[in-house]
Amino acid sequence: MYTGLSLDQAPPFEAPLKFFLTAPLFATLAGIIVFFLDDLNMFARQTIGLVHILTIGFMMMIIFGALLQMLPVVAGAVIKKPKIVANTTYSFLLIGVISFFLGFYFYEKSALFISSISLLTASVVFLGICLYELMKVKPKSFIVQGMIFSTFFALLAIFIGIYMGISHAKENISASYFLFTSIHYNFVFVGFIFLLIASITFQVVPMFWVTNPFEKTKQKFIIYFTVVMLVIFSISLLLGLQDLFFYKIALFFICSYFAYQTIKTIISRKRKLKDLSVNYYLTSMFFLILGSLYFIIYDFFNLKVEILAVIWGIGFIMSIMNGMLYKIVPFLAWFHLSSKGFFDIPTIRDMIPPKQIEIQFFLHLGAIIFFLLFLIFEYSILLKLAAVVFALSNIYLFFNLFKAAKVYLDFDTSQSILN
């Protein structure tokens, strides 16, 4: 079932766990903050701070935790002293996201400088180590190559983001700021997150849902098409070419192609047991296609960019991350207990009650619907409902993941007492 994995090189469970459990707490905080807002304007300072609670506090937390676990296991890229790397990265990431939000929400310049230094430190330390270890892997599968490209785009996006943060802190917004903003967003969401999700999907979908593997030619096509597309996009912007229609068409094509291949692979899985985490994956693929289509048309009809943020940010990215967490955290708890010699442990499927996962899924879906309804009809009550449901969804996510973690902690503690 776990073909191609080097489980003996996995870091201690505690190393990625802190990232996984912290992420839904930041998302809950975002929901609480939204409750007290009257509007969602992507270009307002408060919304920029709020968005980064999700992009850094939720998405980057999960990505860093996943990379910490998956690089040694999937790619054979061993991170030395994983506890020290995890604690250092986690601490600076925590300081960075909190100071970033405070800096933008209250326009506190000192907080913006602190966030720039903290996020730069966390990113350079962690992603630099990841990139260094990945480059040493031989032979490099397309999954490894995708991770390398993704990490490279992440570093570029973060350096651009630091430049943007310092520009705000110094109140020096130049004409090039908006050009780099466009590059920053596309490097984050397409170069970093989409490429990494695609690369990890090639490994985890066949592993967790017992499907046929993704064909190597299709892996190669998705990864290299995305990279070339982003390079052409960046050069076009730097040369002053503002018509991005062909880029949007290319993005819609590659997102739809990836989503189609993923859906086809999951639907044709060999074991058709009811698995609620599949709902998150299929929902995510639907919103990926919808978002990339909306990206094409919203300029033509002067539609709201905030709708795109909800469709891609919550509908695509957060959905797939929820689904992955429900597979990864129970699996890691089971694996680490098994490796310590425990045999009377719950199965992976029993660690989190399916009913609780189902409730959280519908809360998550409800939050997306309420956010979209608010952005379409602009009734403030819809924003309040979206905020409450979104916060509840992430509270549920935290406690569901904690149940799996508690199974591990209870067994591990009992062993420590006996010893």
- Are 241 and 201 a contacting pair, CB within 8 Å? no
DSSP helix/strand/coil, 375: helix
Q: What is the per-residue pLDDT for 418?
A: 45
Q: What is the per-residue pLDDT for 419?
A: 47
Distance CA 241, CA 217 (A): 32
Q: What is the per-residue pLDDT for 16?
A: 93
What residues contact 286, with CB distance under 8 A and at least 6 apart? Answer: 259, 315
**pTM for the whole thing?**
0.94
368 alpha-carbon distance from chain centroid: 17
Q: Which helix (H) or strand (E) holds 95?
A: helix 82-105
**Other residues' Cβ atoms within 10 Å of the Cβ of residue 413:** 11
Q: What is the per-residue pLDDT for 417?
A: 45
Distance CA 232, CA 225 (A): 11
- Are 46 and 105 a contacting pair, CB within 8 Å? yes
Backbone angles phi, psi at 397, to 5 degrees: -60, -45
- Are 190 and 247 a contacting pair, CB within 8 Å? no
Distance CA 41, CA 11 (A): 41
Give whole-number Cα distances, 308 to 17, 65, 138, 259, in Å.
30, 26, 39, 17
- Are 164 and 128 a contacting pair, CB within 8 Å? no
Q: What is the per-residue pLDDT for 293?
A: 97
Rounded to the nearest 10°, the torsion over CA 81, 398, 104, 120 is 10
**Other residues' Cβ atoms within 10 Å of the Cβ of residue 106:** 11
> Which runs of consecutive H residues, i.e. helices, occur in 106-244?
109-135, 142-169, 176-186, 195-209, 216-238
- Are 229 and 247 a contacting pair, CB within 8 Å? yes
Token pair recorded at residue 309:
């943020």
State which amino acid sits at residue 302: N
Total residues belonging to the chain: 419
Averages of pLDDT over runs of 10 residues in the chain (419 residues) are 54 92 98 94 89 96 93 81 94 96 90 93 94 91 94 95 83 80 94 96 88 94 98 92 87 98 90 82 97 93 94 98 94 84 82 94 98 96 98 98 91 57
Residue 378 region, left (φ>0) first, then alpha (ψ -120 to 50), else beta? left
Token pair recorded at residue 225:
């098409």
